Amino acid sequence: MELASYLAGERWSDHPACTHPLLAALARLVNDNTSDESRAKLVRLVPSIIGLASDDLRVDARIALRCATTALPVAAAERQLALAVSVLAAEEMLARLDGAPSGRLSEQSRRAMAEVPHATEQARRFSRAARITDKGFRRYAAPNAVQLSVVGIVQACIPDPDALLRTLLEEAIADTTALIDVPQTDTPAVTTPIHA
């Protein structure tokens, strides 16, 4: 994120204005929880996050949804309920923002929830009793979903958590790009140093 701030012509910061705050938080978490070897591969993504800034709550909901649906099938059982609630909260927020009926689920959410039927059942019971505000979603639910998802992937018993974290970040960037009309800029290319 510091490199992004520099390339965007901003003051040096890991919280640049040129990137959506939740996407920047995900990028920092992925960077901080990735091995040194895998971290070098993240540098290539820096130009793609510059200019991805918006206050549309759909962006927060899409990022939270991408994170939760990615982590839910691989996370340990003790994290699955919170992740399943995160999926339902993000879907509910998107339905509300789109003027769609409550309770709809995207295909990605249905697939993730099908992997953890017990947590899904509990999450549905919990979510029926809770109603989240737009402000509460942006300030608490979405950032918690991102944090919990990264930790869930890092601690998962999977062969290559670094690869899944990188894929998660790439897909979150693609989701955000699809929602934001990004003006084309001449951002310098970033190359990965070659280690001898």
- From CA 145, how far away is CA 120, in angstroms rounded? 15
- From CA 173, how far away is CA 27, in angstroms rounded? 9
Say what the pTM is. 0.85
pLDDT of residue 38: 92
pLDDT in tens, the chain (196 residues): 454 444 445 444 565 656 889 999 999 999 999 999 998 888 888 878 877 889 999 999 999 999 999 999 999 999 999 999 999 999 999 999 999 998 999 999 999 999 999 999 999 999 887 888 999 999 999 999 999 999 999 999 999 999 999 999 999 999 999 999 754 444 444 444 433 3
- From CA 20, how far away is CA 11, in angstroms rounded? 16
Residues 6+ apart with CB under 8 A from 109: 65, 69, 87, 91
CB 54 within 8 Å of CB 181: no
